Structure 1
Amino acid sequence: MSARKFDIKGLTDLEVETSRKRYGSNTLTYKNENGFFDALKSLAKEPMVILLLVASSIYFMSGNVGDGVFLAVAIVLVASISLYQDSRSRKALDKLKALTQPNCNVIRNGEVIGIPSEQVVIGDSLMVEEGTLIPADGTIIHSNDFSVNESILTGESLAVFKDSKNDDNSIFSGTTVVSGLAIATVVAIGNNTELGKISKSLEAIQEEKTPLERQISNFVKKMSIWGVVVFFLVWAMNYNKSMDLMDSLLKALTIAMSILPEEIPVAFTTFMAVGTWRLMKMGVLVKQIKTVETLGSATVICADKTGTLTQNKMSLAKLFVLQSGVISDPKNEMGQAEKELITLAMWASEPIPFDPMEVALHNAYGQFIDSDERLNYQMVHEYPIGGKPPMMTHLFQNANGHRIIAAKGAPEAFFEISNLTTQEKSQIEETIKSLGKQGYRLLGVGQAHFMGMEFPKKQQEFKFDFKGIVAFYDPPKENISKVLTSFDKAGIDVKLVTGDNSETAIAIAKEIDFIGYERCMSGDELMQLNDVELREKVKTTQVYTRMFPDAKLRIINAIKANNEVVAMIGDGVNDGPALKASHFGIAMGKKGTEIAKQAASLILVEDDLSKLVDAIAIGRKIYTNLKKAIQYVISIHIPIILMVFIPLALGWLYPTIFSPSHVILLELIMGPTCSIIYENEPMEKNTMVQKPRPFTTTFFKFKELATSITQGLTIALVALLVYQYAVAEGLNESTTRTMVFIVLIAANIFLTLVNRSFYFSILTTLKYKNNLVPLIIGITIAIVVLLLYIPAFTRFFEFEMLTPKLLSISVLSGFGSVIWYELVKWGKRIS
Structure 2
Amino acid sequence: MNPFPFAGLSDEAVLASRAQHGSNEIRKSAESGTWVAFKETVTEPMFLLLVVAASVYFVLGEVTEGIYMLAALAAVAAISFYQDSRSRKAVQALQDYTQPLATVIRNNSVTQVKSRDVVVGDFVVIDEGKLVPADGVLLQANDFTVNESILTGEAFTVPKSPDDSNARTVFQGTLVTTGLGVMRVNAVGDKTELGKIGKSLSEISEEKTPLQQQIETFVRKMALAGGAVFLLIWGYQFFLSRELLGSLLMGLTIAMSVLPEEIPVAFTTFMALGAWRLMKEGVIVKQTKTVETLGAATVLCVDKTGTITENRMELKKIVSGDQIFTLGDQGELAPEGRYILEMAMWASEPVPFDPMEKALHEAYSSVGVDKRSVYRLVHEYPLGGKPPMMTHVFANDDGHQIIATKGAVEGVIRQCQLTPGDLDRINQQYHALSAEGFRVLAVAEAATTPHDLPTNQSEFVLRYLGLVAFYDPPKSHIRSIFEQFQKAGIRIKVITGDNEIT
Is the TM value for this pair above 0.5?
A: yes
Is 1:74 paired with 2:68?
A: yes
Indicate which of 449, 462, 465 corresponds to 1:464: 462
Equivalent residues in 2 for 1:426-825 (5 A)?
442-448=440-446, 455=456, 463-472=461-470, 474-475=472-473, 477-479=475-477, 490=487, 566-570=491-495, 572-573=496-497
Equivalent residues in 2 for 1:146-157 (5 A)?
none
What letter matches 2:214 in structure 1? Q
Aligned to 2:7: none
> Contact between 1:136 and 1:190, CA under 8 Å: does it hold in 2?
yes
Aligned to 2:49: 48
- 1:340 to 1:431, Cα distance in 2 relative to 1, 3 A: same
Indicate which of 27, 30, 37 corresponds to 2:28: 30
- 1:81 to 1:196, Cα distance in 2 relative to 1, 3 A: same
- 1:58 to 1:430, Cα distance in 2 relative to 1, 3 A: closer
- Residues 685-738 of structure 1 show CA distances to partners (whole Å, capped at 9, x for unaligned) of xxxxxxxxxxxxxxxxxxxxxxxxxxxxxxxxxxxxxxxxxxxxxxxxxxxxxx
Aligned to 1:216: 215
Is 1:383 paired with 2:308?
A: no
CA shift, 1:199, in A, is 6.7
Gaps of 5+ in 1: 1-6, 9-21, 109-117, 153-159, 493-564, 578-831
CA shift, 1:224, in A, is 2.4
SS at structure 1 position matched to 2:373: coil
State how far apart, in whole Å, the 2-side matches of 1:439 and 1:199 are: 34
CA shift, 1:319, in A, is 4.8
CA shift, 1:567, in A, is 1.8
> Contact between 2:102 and 2:115, CA under 8 Å: does it hold in 1?
no
> Contact between 2:301 and 2:492, CA under 8 Å: does it hold in 1?
yes
- 1:181 to 1:89, Cα distance in 2 relative to 1, 3 A: farther
State how far apart, in whole Å, the 2-side matches of 1:127 and 1:569 are: 33
Aligned to 1:408: 406
> Contact between 1:106 and 1:126, CA under 8 Å: does it hold in 2?
no
What letter matches 1:383 in structure 2? G
SS at structure 2 position matched to 1:259: coil
SS at structure 1 position matched to 2:406: strand
SS at structure 2 position matched to 1:221: helix
Say what the alpha-carbon RMSD is for the aligned residues: 6.1
Structure 1 or 2: more helix by fraction? 1
> Contact between 1:318 and 1:330, CA under 8 Å: does it hold in 2?
no
SS at structure 2 position matched to 1:226: helix
- 1:433 to 1:230, Cα distance in 2 relative to 1, 3 A: closer
- Residues 186-222 of structure 1 show CA distances to partners (whole Å, capped at 9, x for unaligned) of 9576557576589777654321234443233222222
What letter matches 2:445 in structure 1? Q
- 1:381 to 1:429, Cα distance in 2 relative to 1, 3 A: closer
Higher relative CO (Cα under 8 Å, sequence separation at least 6) belongs to 2
- Residues 372-420 of structure 1 show CA distances to partners (whole Å, capped at 9, x for unaligned) of 766x545455415x44xxx52346699x999976443455765554224
Aligned to 2:312: 313
Aligned to 2:15: none
> Contact between 2:389 and 2:412, CA under 8 Å: does it hold in 1?
no
State how far apart, in whole Å, the 1-side matches of 2:312 and 2:197 are: 42
Between 43-52 and 184-193, the greater mean CA deviation after superposition: 184-193
SS at structure 1 position matched to 2:253: helix
SS at structure 1 position matched to 2:257: helix
- 1:328 to 1:238, Cα distance in 2 relative to 1, 3 A: closer
CA shift, 1:82, in A, is 0.8
State how far apart, in whole Å, the 2-side matches of 1:416 and 1:429 are: 12
What letter matches 1:567 in structure 2? I
Aligned to 2:274: 275
State how far apart, in whole Å, the 2-side matches of 1:325 and 1:161 are: 32
> Contact between 1:377 and 1:397, CA under 8 Å: does it hold in 2?
yes
> Contact between 2:316 and 2:326, CA under 8 Å: does it hold in 1?
no
Equivalent residues in 2 for 1:234-245 (5 A)?
234-235=233-234, 238=237
State how far apart, in whole Å, the 1-side matches of 2:301 and 2:245 are: 61
State how far apart, in whole Å, the 2-side matches of 1:333 and 1:471 are: 18
CA shift, 1:371, in A, is 1.8
State how far apart, in whole Å, the 1-side matches of 2:258 and 2:197 are: 46
Aligned to 1:502: none
CA shift, 1:568, in A, is 1.7
CA shift, 1:86, in A, is 1.2
SS at structure 2 position matched to 1:224: helix
- Residues 158-179 of structure 1 show CA distances to partners (whole Å, capped at 9, x for unaligned) of xx996434578444447x79x9
Indicate which of 81, 84, 98 corresponds to 1:87: 81
> Contact between 1:380 and 1:395, CA under 8 Å: does it hold in 2?
yes
- 1:87 to 1:471, Cα distance in 2 relative to 1, 3 A: same
- Residues 242-288 of structure 1 show CA distances to partners (whole Å, capped at 9, x for unaligned) of 66665555444434443344655665555555435534644778995
CA shift, 1:364, in A, is 5.2
> Contact between 1:320 and 1:326, CA under 8 Å: does it hold in 2?
yes
Equivalent residues in 2 for 1:226-375 (5 A)?
226-235=225-234, 238=237, 247-261=246-260, 264=263, 271-272=270-271, 274-275=273-274, 277-279=276-278, 281-282=280-281, 289-295=291-297, 297=298, 304=304, 311-317=310-316, 319=318, 341-342=340-341, 344-346=343-345, 348-349=347-348, 354-363=353-362, 368-371=370-373
State how far apart, in whole Å, the 2-side matches of 1:408 and 1:314 are: 16
State how far apart, in whole Å, the 2-side matches of 1:462 and 1:283 are: 53
> Contact between 2:76 and 2:264, CA under 8 Å: does it hold in 1?
no
- 1:468 to 1:381, Cα distance in 2 relative to 1, 3 A: same
SS at structure 1 position matched to 2:356: helix
Count of aligned residue pairs for this structure pair: 447
- 1:51 to 1:423, Cα distance in 2 relative to 1, 3 A: closer
- 1:435 to 1:83, Cα distance in 2 relative to 1, 3 A: closer
What letter matches 2:55 in structure 1? V
SS at structure 1 position matched to 2:79: helix
CA shift, 1:47, in A, is 2.7
State how far apart, in whole Å, the 2-side matches of 1:204 and 1:402 are: 61
User: TM-score w.r.t. structure 2 length?
Assistant: 0.61
Aligned to 1:723: none
> Contact between 2:403 and 2:445, CA under 8 Å: does it hold in 1?
yes
Identity level (%): 33
- 1:423 to 1:43, Cα distance in 2 relative to 1, 3 A: closer
State how far apart, in whole Å, the 2-side matches of 1:236 and 1:469 are: 87
What letter matches 1:443 in structure 2? L
CA shift, 1:38, in A, is 4.0
Aligned to 1:772: none
State how far apart, in whole Å, the 2-side matches of 1:327 and 1:53 are: 75
State how far apart, in whole Å, the 2-side matches of 1:253 and 1:311 are: 63
Indicate which of 390, 395, 401 corresponds to 1:393: 390
> Contact between 1:322 and 1:468, CA under 8 Å: does it hold in 2?
yes
- 1:415 to 1:442, Cα distance in 2 relative to 1, 3 A: same
> Contact between 1:320 and 1:328, CA under 8 Å: does it hold in 2?
no
State how far apart, in whole Å, the 2-side matches of 1:258 and 1:475 are: 60
> Contact between 1:58 and 1:246, CA under 8 Å: does it hold in 2?
no
- 1:332 to 1:434, Cα distance in 2 relative to 1, 3 A: farther
What letter matches 2:257 in structure 1? S
CA shift, 1:360, in A, is 1.9
SS at structure 1 position matched to 2:443: strand
> Contact between 2:210 and 2:293, CA under 8 Å: does it hold in 1?
no
- 1:353 to 1:422, Cα distance in 2 relative to 1, 3 A: same
CA shift, 1:77, in A, is 0.7
- 1:218 to 1:351, Cα distance in 2 relative to 1, 3 A: farther
State how far apart, in whole Å, the 2-side matches of 1:433 and 1:485 are: 28
